[in-house]
Amino acid sequence: MNIYFIIIILILLFEYFLSNIVRKLNLNALDSKLPEEFSDVFDEEEYKKSQLYTKAKEHFAYLSSTLMIILSLSIILFGAYNIIDQYVREFQYGAIITGLLFYGILIILSDIISTPFNLYDTFVIEEKFGFNKMTIKTFFSDKIKSYALFIIIGAPIISLILFFFESFNQYAWVYAWILIVSFSLIMQPIFILFIAPLFNKFSPLKDQSLLKKIESYLKNVDFPITKIEVMDGSKRSSHSNAYFSGIGKNKRIALFDTLIDSMDEDEIVSILAHEVGHYKLKHIQTGIILSSIQSGVMLFILSLFINNRDLFDVFKMEELSIYASLLFFSILYTPISMIINFVFNYISRKNEFAADQYSLETTGKPENLISALKKLTIENLSNLTPHWLNVSLNYSHPPVVDRIHALKSSK
């Protein structure tokens, strides 16, 4: 028996059963009693609605994951990857073009399979709970734009990675690592200038009173911003958010229009203060360094499995190739990826507490961030009582009740 076959099947089954055990625990952790911290803003009916939303999302995730594990196992057992590989080889292009065709077909097939699930999630579940604002036209236009971005940006990057591994043998992972790290850095300005405007409209913040408060705060903490803009998030969803983008002196703030509509000025400033805290406390820079180290480790391990015949036999592949090696290794790498994500989520949750503390210290008004967190929780129908294992594995932010406790104790 091929040892890689056993490992990969066990990996897929372990990931499936673990995720569903966590979902079950998360549902069991739902408490009908409203947490005391939200008794002043959450009525019983709204709280019940948030739990129904959690149940709907978890049940749908269970169904979709079950169908996907059946499909994944079927693909392996029936040699579907080999069928696609033999098809693209018939065109008799070079290794890089053949690899792009191989990935392209897989992406299209994956999208065809996932689209019904995405449609149901968006136009049934999100619609039922009042979040969806997207039209069918917008849904499919986003898909077309995503395909275009893959062709324009993704394909050249993949081509270079394939070229490195085809040409430089044991040092290929180093060149690929330099490429990925460099790309992650230049993607920030590319995202700001070209990608984000493809999907959303950005306009200058017109509320002068809010603008002055934001500018006054940013000046006090010596945090230069190039632009403060409003994004039409309501075009797709009623969920609220805000984010910073850019590095160095070219940082920008994007406020969702839904956030401006639901928060008062002091609450918005407290949220922005939290985001500033991530920059001031070097969380962004640390994240970039850790991600770079992670990608380097992954690429080095990948280099050890290039064109591994036993690994290819698992997927019933007739011929070896660099492009298929990358794909098959990504499945084999899953356990390591899960461990790394566990650690990264832990660090991220600690950073969120620290950014909350920064907001408290620089605004001097913890009650504003507390009320903002409560409003975001209500508007997003967030789960107030997630199971600790779900938090450990999947949460990059601490549960909102824990954040409120921390802010009140600091106060």
Q: Which two tokens stand for residue 62?
A: 């269970």
Q: Which two tokens stand for residue 235?
A: 């075009």
Q: Which two tokens stand for residue 359?
A: 């907001």
Distance CA 203, CA 291 (A): 32
- Among candidate residues 356, 361, 367, 402, the one labeled active-site is 356
> Residue 53: in which H helix or E strand, if any?
helix 44-77
CB-based contact 208:265 (threshold 8 Å): no
Distance CA 275, CA 277 (A): 5
Sole residue written with tokens 């959450």 = 42
Q: Which two tokens stand for residue 240?
A: 């609220």
Half-sphere exposure of 406 (CA within 13 A, CB side): 21
Q: Give strand pairing partners of 15.
A: none
> What burial class does residue 107 get, using C-beta atoms within 10 Å of its C-beta: 0-12 exposed, 13-18 middle, 19+ buried?
middle
CB-based contact 267:377 (threshold 8 Å): no
- Among candidate residues 267, 275, 352, 379, the one labeled active-site is 275
CB-based contact 145:199 (threshold 8 Å): yes
Sole residue written with tokens 């961030």 = 369
CA distances from 376 to 151, 271, 328 (A): 36, 10, 40
Phi and psi at residue 243, to the nearest 5°: -150, 155
Distance of CA 313 to the CA centre of its chain: 32
Q: Say which residues have a Cβ less than 8 Å from residue 33's Cβ, sequence separation at least 6.
A: none
Per DSSP, the three-state class of 312 is helix
> Residue 229: in which H helix or E strand, if any?
strand 227-231
Q: Say which residues have a Cβ less than 8 Å from residue 191's Cβ, sequence separation at least 6.
A: 245
Judge whether 275 counts as a catalytic residue.
Answer: yes
* Residues making up the chain, counted from first to last: 411
Judge whether 222 counts as a catalytic residue.
Answer: no
Phi-psi region of 233 (alpha: psi -120 to 50; beta: other; left: phi over 0): alpha
Distance CA 218, CA 210 (A): 12
Q: Which residues are catalytic?
A: 275, 356
